[in-house]
Structure formats: structure tokens, C-alpha cells
């Protein structure tokens, strides 16, 4: 019964129940309804009664004199008297006669006045109110309010009285054509083929509903705005010359529809307005929200309500959604799918993106009060395409320009201490009027590179002098922790330098190595020191202990569990770590301990620098250094190979190392598949540590111990004899430096 009642009417009924409890009555009668209408205070009925001099205190006094107070305990449930129920029925009739589709306090008051035998009518008469005059005043007040509220769509009739045809669309839609005429839309550059295809579909007789399909950020919504701009510039066929492009806000359409039928009524009103107008193209962004929108307990959703009009061509609708959501929501409903004609919107190329940025440049220059150079536009398109892999052009390039403009504007809006000092001198008249005019700051490619670096953690800005010096002496820096192993340190340092100056292959990882050799010679330590140098902390290294991947099913731990298995939503240990930290050192420790199927996962990673996780997302490994450590060939290294006796000692060492390296490579070929080894940049065989190298390592370990106990106030002094004793006791060629600890 109460589904057509307004909030104020329901509030007055609740107040009537409170008055019933106050009076100690067990039923809500017409007199309590009257008290509730007066107590509500702000609605039409309360205002009209106030005009007639009726106050809540007088009405309460009159009711108590008429019906008296009750003495019973009042239950929590308060039913209505038959007379009160008749008032509700009569209020429905009063609303219908006035052409209203809702029941408000004024309709309840008219129903009370209509029944002259009710207690409420007697109370009003006792208060000196002329019921006929009161009815006339209520109806005239309703007429005045109806004239003011018709535009909001609240006065539609039970019998279908027509209202202002633009009311609903103006309330729930945005007129893109009007915004285009006022110059409030960003210019749309390119996309000629897509807009032409949209125009062709809109020109059809039936099923003239294009739907734009593409990845997020490729410019689907911009095509709808481009259509509006073309209509304003008269660059469309005569068929579309007088069309209005209106974007419908589905969230606004659904919000506030609390009762069944409210949403359907709004949507049908939108459809009827579009049909009667005949010159409206309805744009619904995120059109998959139609499916299921507004359906409650068997009610029809928006998609089913629109199907008849879409099929007959009575409603021209331009939709936009992503491919995933189209497949998930719209393709499932074949009847809905056939009413739309798909238009694929592909990601633009870097060259097209540069043209788009040129078109948008003036808009962002005006907003941020900066100048954007051509080099900045070029860098935004190229760097976003290369380094930001999980988003799409032109959206990510536009975001770079936007944030760089904001950064430069904020940098120049903060007055420096020097500028403040100069302004003080100027104000004192010491420099007269010689202060320079403020210059417009310029956004260049270096600012774009800094934004890319802050987004991804990948340094792509120009090398500073200090960084250049560090890179040139990277070997010396690494040798502070890695004793010996010149081949490994040199190979890693060269790879870092190539990547930092931009000479690496853009479609492969920075470098990929297998570090092979006996235990305890510094394979893992080199990876740690590299991470410490690049990122300032060993913790930034992504380390995978391959002994945890000894069984076949553990492959899923790297890229994520398949659908239906535990942990599907968590992602893979490798892919998630690299997605969050794309510029990193990835260490596969003890690679030979892993199941052979793990190597199959690494093939595309090594060759193309990409890996697809269990959810189908592509993870970019193009800015990672891949290091795999292995103990394969350690027995060969222990035996030491054989050298010719007549060679010098240096030549003997080098010949022995070359022979060992050849034998280790042969062992690796026996264990790993050719397609795996063929994708690696280098296989580096670590040398066995000599006594003098072990002594240097002992000094490093002693320094670590000294610094740790110094915090406790203990100073450690070590003699050379003790160091020699350490080396003698702890040197074991087969075990490397580990026994020293």
C-alpha cells in the first residue's frame, strides 16, 4: 500500500504512531493521522493547516477532549483502524484525480476532509476550520507547486498525462553537442575510420546502434565526443546534421529508485522522449552496466527494457565498453548482442599518439600555464610505449604530459629564497624597475623521463655526471664485496652500462646469465651486491630458491594457480614481484634443483622479455637482470683439469681455467636443453678461490664482525698472524669461502 507514498507522507504516518503511543491507544485512527500531518511540520498539509491557525498543541488538546486518553499498555505493533485504512484508499483516489503518481501529505489531508464523519474532521471543526474552504486552499496550493515541480518529472499521471519532453534527459544526461558548441570538449585527433564507421551504422534504418569495443584508454569515449564535434562543424551527412548527442548517466538513472517500478518508469520516459524527439543519439558509456541494472526480484533490467526500441530503430544508441566486459555481459545475451553493431577501436601507434598529443597540447598548456616542447610530446609517446606495459596508448601518454605539466607548474610556483630576496630588494627600490618579467616554464623530455621513472622505478632520465662516474667504475664498486671473479663482474657491469645508456635490445631482458661454479665462490653474493648497488638494498632483489620448485606442479607458484585452484587470486610469486618492481635483479638460485618443466616457463621470458600469468596478464621482464646460479660442473672444477707442464705458471692457470670452462659448458649442455641455453647471454664459470683471495674475504668478514660488536662498545683488533691462521684453518678449495664464517 505504501509503495507510492512519499518520504514526508511516511514520516507523518510514523509520527501518527508516536501520537497513538502518547495517547495510550492501541489503534491508529484518523485523529492520530491528523496529528501526524501537523507534527511533520514542513510538508504541504502542515503548512496549509498552519495558515488556518491549527497548532499541534491545540489539536492534541482537542483530540484528548474528543476521544480521551487510553490506559492500556501499548504494544510495539500498532494497526490502523478501518476508518484510517479508508483514508489511505481515499488518498489514492485524490492523487489519481489530481494526476499524480505519488501520495503525499496533501492527499491524506484531502481524504480526511472528504470523510466528514471521521474523528479527524470533527477535531478540525472544533478548532474552527471551514472544511470546504480548507479543501479549496489545499487544491490551489497543490496547483501552484505542480507548476513549479513539473520540470523535475514529479507530476506524471497515473493516466499518462504528458510532461515536458526534455525533463528526464536533461536530468539524467549530458548534452555533448552543446558542450562541443561551447568548446568545452577536448579536440579529437585522428580516428577517422572509426567515426566514419559509426556514422554509417547510425545511418541504417534498423539496428542502427554502434558499440565501440577496445581496451581501456584507447579513446572510445573520445569517438563519441568527436561525433558531437563533427555534427557542430557540419562535417556529417544530412541524415545526422540536426542530431543531438546526449550521454546518459546510468548511475544517476538508477540512484534514488527505492521502489519497484521507479527505475523502469524513468527508463521508459527516457526512451519515449528519445522516440518523440527523433533527433537524439543516446550515448551510454560502460554499456555493459545495462545488463542487470534496476532488476529487483523478478523485475526487468535495463537491457530487456531497451531491446524492442533498439531492434526497431526507434532508439539510436552509441555504446562503449571494453572487450572483456563485452564478452562477459553482452555476448552472453545473443538477443542483445544482435541489436548492436561492433566497431573495434584499436590502440593507436606511437606516431598517431604523437599527433593526438599535438592536438591536445594547447589545452594542457593553458591549464598548467606551461609550454610543452615537441621533444616532450615525442618522449611521452615513446617512453610510455616502451616502459609502461600494463596500460594503453594514448591514455598513458596523455597522463604523462598531464603529470609533467603539473610537476613543472608546481616547481615554478614555489618562490625560491633567491627570488624572495630579489623581490625584497625590488620593493626597497634598490634595483628600480630592472627585475625581469616572469617566463613561462617549459616541459621538456627530461621532465617526462622523470615522471616515467617515478611511475615504474626504471631510470630513463639522462645520466648525471656522478652517475656516469659510478657506472664507469662499477667493476671497482662490485669488487669491494666480490673478491676475484673478474669475468663475472665485467660481464655484469657491461650489461648494466648498456641498459643505462639505452643501447640494450628493447625486446629482451637487460641481461641473462648462468653463474656456474663450485660452492662458496660468490655467485649469489654477486647478485646481492648488484641489487645493493642498483637499488640501495639487497632486499630489492627478487630471489627464488629453486629447491622449492622440485616438483612438476610447483610451476604454478611462479605464474599463479589456474582457475579453480587455491590461490588463483593471489598471482604468481615471480610475475607479481616483477609487476610491482619492473626494474630489478631476479635471482634463480640453484637452478638445477628445479623440475625441468620450470625451464619451459623461462623460454619466452629469456627471448621476448615477457611472461603471461595465470590471469592472462602480460608481465614485462625487459628491464630485469636474470641471474641463475648452478653448481653443475663443480666436480670438474675440483679436479682442476690438466695443463701442459712446460707452460709458465700464468699460462698454466689460464689454460686450466679455459679447459674447466669447456668441460662445465659440456656438463650444462647435458643437463639443460639447447633451446634454454641458446637464449642466455652468457654462461660464466666462476674460478676457485686462491689463498690470497680468501685472506681478502677474511678481512671483509672481520670488518663486519667488528662493526657489529662495536655497537656494544667492544673494539676488535686483529693481527696479521691471526688472519694467516684463519686462512690456514678455513681454506678449503672445494668449499670456497663459507668455512671462514
Average pLDDT rounded to a whole number, residues 276-298: 76
Segment 434-462, tens digit of pLDDT: 444 458 888 888 888 888 888 877 777 66
Distance CA(159)–CA(100), nearest Å, equals: 9
For the CA atoms of the chain, what is the radius of gyration? 40
Count how many residues are written for the chain: 741
On the question of pLDDT at 403 being above 90, the answer is: yes
Cis peptide, bond prior to residue 394, ω within 30 of zero = yes
Average pLDDT rounded to a whole number, residues 640-645: 49
On the question of pLDDT at 646 being above 60, the answer is: no
Residue pair 207/311 in contact (Cβ under 8 Å)? The answer is yes
Assign 7 a pLDDT band (cuts: 50, 70, 90). confident
Average pLDDT rounded to a whole number, residues 286-298: 69
On the question of pLDDT at 419 being above 60, the answer is: no
At residue 509, φ and ψ (nearest 5 deg) are -60, 165
Question: Quick one: which H or E segment has residue 288?
Answer: none
Residue pair 322/217 in contact (Cβ under 8 Å)? The answer is no
Question: Quick one: which H or E segment has residue 210?
Answer: strand 210-213
Distance CA(29)–CA(89), nearest Å, equals: 14
Segment 70-125, tens digit of pLDDT: 766 566 677 888 888 888 888 888 888 877 777 888 888 888 888 888 888 888 88
In this predicted structure, what is the pLDDT of residue 414? Answer: 61
In this predicted structure, what is the pLDDT of residue 465? Answer: 63
In this predicted structure, what is the pLDDT of residue 424? Answer: 53
Residue 199 DSSP symbol: H
On the question of pLDDT at 734 being above 70, the answer is: no
Residue pair 557/597 in contact (Cβ under 8 Å)? The answer is no
Distance CA(261)–CA(269), nearest Å, equals: 12
Segment 507-564, tens digit of pLDDT: 888 888 888 877 777 888 888 888 887 766 777 788 888 888 888 888 888 888 877 7
On the question of pLDDT at 581 being above 60, the answer is: yes
Which residues pair with residue 683 across a beta bridge? 514
CA 663, distance to chain mean position in Å, is 53
On the question of pLDDT at 620 being above 50, the answer is: yes
Which residues touch 415 (CB under 8 Å, ≥6 apart)? 423
- Concatenate the DSSP letters of all residues of 677-727 into one string: HTT-SEEEEPPPPPHHHHHHHHHHHHHHHHHHHHTTT------HHHHHHHH
Assign 733 a pLDDT band (cuts: 50, 70, 90). low
With H, G, I as helix, E, B as strand and everything else as coil, classify residue 277. Answer: helix
Q: Could you give all domains of the chain from N- to C-terminal order, each with its CATH number?
A: 7-145 (1.10.1780.10), 168-344 (3.40.50.300), 350-412+442-455 (1.10.8.60), 467-642+651-685 (3.40.50.300), 691-730 (no CATH)
**CA nearest neighbour of 267 among 356, 204, 383, 173:** 173
Q: Which of 92-96, 188-192, 297-301, 516-520 is predicted with the least confidence, judged by mean pLDDT?
A: 297-301
On the question of pLDDT at 575 being above 60, the answer is: yes
At residue 438, φ and ψ (nearest 5 deg) are -65, 135
Distance (Å) of CA 245 to CA 153, 207, 283, 317, 410: 22, 18, 7, 10, 37
Assign 405 a pLDDT band (cuts: 50, 70, 90). very high
Which residues pair with residue 175 across a beta bridge? 246
Q: Which residue has the cell 646469465?
A: 513
Distance (Å) of CA 275 to CA 310, 312, 316: 11, 11, 9
Distance CA(284)–CA(387), nearest Å, equals: 33
Residue pair 560/614 in contact (Cβ under 8 Å)? The answer is yes
Query: Please, what's the largest Cα pairwise distance for the chain?
Result: 135
On the question of pLDDT at 223 being above 70, the answer is: yes
Burial 338-363 (b: 16+ CB within 10 A, else e): ebbbbbebebbeeebbbebbeebbee
* C-alpha cell recorded at residue 197: 564507421
On the question of pLDDT at 254 being above 60, the answer is: yes
In this predicted structure, what is the pLDDT of residue 100? Answer: 77
Regarding beta strands 618-620 and 610-612, do their DSSP bridges make them parallel or antiparallel, or are they unpaired?
A: antiparallel
More confidently predicted of 176 and 739: 176
Segment 30-56, tens digit of pLDDT: 888 888 888 877 778 888 888 888 888
With H, G, I as helix, E, B as strand and everything else as coil, classify residue 173. Answer: strand
With H, G, I as helix, E, B as strand and everything else as coil, classify residue 131. Answer: helix
Which residues touch 239 (CB under 8 Å, ≥6 apart)? 202, 203
Segment 126-146, tens digit of pLDDT: 888 888 888 888 888 877 776
With H, G, I as helix, E, B as strand and everything else as coil, classify residue 666. Answer: helix
Distance (Å) of CA 24 to CA 28, 32, 67, 119, 293: 11, 11, 11, 17, 46
Distance (Å) of CA 643 to CA 424, 639, 650, 653, 662: 81, 12, 11, 8, 14
Distance CA(45)–CA(107), nearest Å, equals: 8
On the question of pLDDT at 152 being above 50, the answer is: no
Assign 269 a pLDDT band (cuts: 50, 70, 90). confident
Amino acid at each position: 500500500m505504501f509503495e507510492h507514498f512519499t518520504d514526508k507522507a511516511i514520516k507523518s504516518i510514523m509520527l501518527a504512531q508516536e501520537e497513538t503511543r502518547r495517547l495510550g491507544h492501541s489503534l491508529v485512527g484518523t485523529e492520530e493521522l491528523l496529528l501526524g500531518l501537523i507534527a511533520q511540520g514542513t510538508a504541504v498539509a502542515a503548512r496549509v493547516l498552519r495558515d488556518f491557525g491549527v497548532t499541534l498543541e491545540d489539536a492534541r488538546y482537542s483530540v484528548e477532549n474528543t476521544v480521551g486518553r487510553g490506559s492500556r499498555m501499548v504494544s510495539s505493533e500498532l494497526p490502523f483502524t478501518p476508518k484510517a485504512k479508508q483514508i489511505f484508499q481515499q488518498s489514492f483516489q485524490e492523487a489519481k484525480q489530481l494526476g499524480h503518481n505519488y501520495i503525499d501529505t496533501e492527499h491524506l489531508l484531502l481524504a480526511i476532509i472528504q470523510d466528514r464523519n471521521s474523528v479527524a474532521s470533527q477535531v478540525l471543526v472544533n478548532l474552527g476550520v471551514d472544511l470546504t474552504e480548507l479543501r479549496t486552499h489545499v487544491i490551489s496550493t497543490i496547483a501552484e507547486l505542480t507548476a513549479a515541480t513539473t520540470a523535475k518529472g514529479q507530476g506524471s499521471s497515473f493516466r499518462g498525462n504528458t510532461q515536458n519532453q526534455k525533463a528526464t534527459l536533461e536530468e539524467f544526461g549530458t548534452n555533448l553537442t552543446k558542450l562541443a558548441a561551447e568548446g568545452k570538449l577536448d579536440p579529437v585527433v585522428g580516428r577517422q575510420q572509426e567515426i566514419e564507421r559509426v556514422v554509417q551504422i547510425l545511418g541504417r534504418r534498423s539496428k542502427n546502434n554502434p558499440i565501440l569495443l577496445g581496451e581501456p584508454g584507447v579513446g572510445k569515449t573520445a569517438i563519441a565526443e568527436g561525433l558531437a564535434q563533427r555534427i557542430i562543424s557540419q562535417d556529417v551527412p544530412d541524415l545526422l546534421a540536426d542530431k543531438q548527442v546526449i550521454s546518459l548517466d546510468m548511475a544517476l538513472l538508477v540512484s534514488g529508485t527505492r521502489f519497484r517500478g521507479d527505475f523502469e518508469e524513468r527508463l521508459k520516459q527516457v526512451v519515449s522522449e528519445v522516440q518523440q524527439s527523433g533527433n537524439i543519439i543516446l550515448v551510454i558509456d560502460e554499456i555493459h552496466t545495462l545488463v542487470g541494472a534496476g532488476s529487483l526480484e523478478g523485475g526487468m533490467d535495463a537491457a530487456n527494457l531497451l531491446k524492442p526500441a533498439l531492434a526497431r530503430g526507434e532508439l539510436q544508441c552509441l555504446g562503449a565498453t571494453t572487450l572483456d566486459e563485452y564478452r562477459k555481459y553482452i555476448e552472453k545475451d545473443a538477443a542483445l548482442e544482435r541489436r548492436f553493431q561492433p566497431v573495434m577501436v584499436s590502440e593507436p601507434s606511437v606516431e598517431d599518439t604523437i599527433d593526438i598529443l599535438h592536438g591536445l597540447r594547447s589545452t594542457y598548456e593553458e591549464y598548467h600555464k606551461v609550454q610543452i616542447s615537441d621533444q616532450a610530446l615525442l618522449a611521452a609517446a615513446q617512453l610510455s610505449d616502451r616502459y609502461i606495459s600494463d596500460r594503453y596508448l594514448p591514455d598513458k601518454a596523455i597522463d604523462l604530459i598531464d603529470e609533467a605539466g603539473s610537476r613543472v607548474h608546481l616547481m615554478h610556483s614555489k618562490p625560491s629564497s633567491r627570488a624572495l630576496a630579489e623581490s625584497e630588494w625590488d620593493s626597497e627600490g634598490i634595483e628600480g624597475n630592472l627585475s625581469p618579467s616572469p617566463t613561462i616554464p617549459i616541459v621538456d623530455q627530461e621532465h617526462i623521463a622523470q615522471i616515467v621513472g617515478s611511475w615504474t622505478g626504471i631510470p630513463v632520465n639522462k645520466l648525471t655526471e656522478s652517475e656516469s662516474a659510478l657506472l664507469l667504475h662499477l667493476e671497482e664498486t662490485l669488487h669491494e664485496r666480490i673478491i676475484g671473479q673478474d669475468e663475472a663482474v665485467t660481464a655484469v657491469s657491461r650489461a648494466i652500462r648498456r641498459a643505462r645508456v639505452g643501447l640494450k635490445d628493447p625486446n629482451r631482458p637487460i641481461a641473462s646469465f648462468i653463474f656456474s661454479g663450485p660452492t662458496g665462490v660468490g655467485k649469489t653474493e654477486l647478485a646481492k651486491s648488484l641489487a645493493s648497488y642498483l637499488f640501495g638494498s639487497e632486499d630489492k632483489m627478487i630471489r627464488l630458491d629453486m629447491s622449492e620448485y622440485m616438483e612438476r606442479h610447483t610451476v604454478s607458484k611462479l605464474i599463479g594457480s589456474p582457475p579453480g585452484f587455491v590461490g588463483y587470486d593471489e598471482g604468481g610469486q615471480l610475475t607479481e614481484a616483477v609487476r610491482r618492481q619492473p626494474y630489478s635483479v631476479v635471482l634463480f638460485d640453484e637452478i638445477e634443483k628445479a623440475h625441468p618443466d620450470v625451464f619451459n616457463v623461462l623460454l619466452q621470458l629469456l627471448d621476448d622479455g615477457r611472461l603471461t600469468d595465470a590471469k592472462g596478464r602480460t608481465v614485462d621482464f625487459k628491464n630485469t637482470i636474470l641471474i641463475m646460479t648452478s653448481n653443475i660442473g663443480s666436480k670438474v672444477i675440483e679436479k682442476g683439469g690438466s695443463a701442459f707442464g712446460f707452460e709458465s705458471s700464468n699460462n698454466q692457470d689460464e689454460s686450466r681455467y679455459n679447459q674447466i670452462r669447456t668441460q662445465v659448458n659440456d656438463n650444462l649442455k647435458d643437463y639443460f636443453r639447447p633451446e634454454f641455453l641458446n637464449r642466455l647471454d652468457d654462461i660464466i664459470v666462476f674460478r676457485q678461490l686462491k689463498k690470497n683471495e680468501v685472506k681478502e674475504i677474511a678481512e671483509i668478514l672481520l670488518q663486519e664482525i667488528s662493526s657489529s660488536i662495536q655497537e656494544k662498545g667492544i673494539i676488535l683488533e686483529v693481527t696479521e698472524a691471526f688472519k694467516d691462521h684463519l686462512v690456514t684453518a678455513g681454506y678449503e678449495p672445494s668449499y670456497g669461502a663459507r668455512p671462514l664464517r
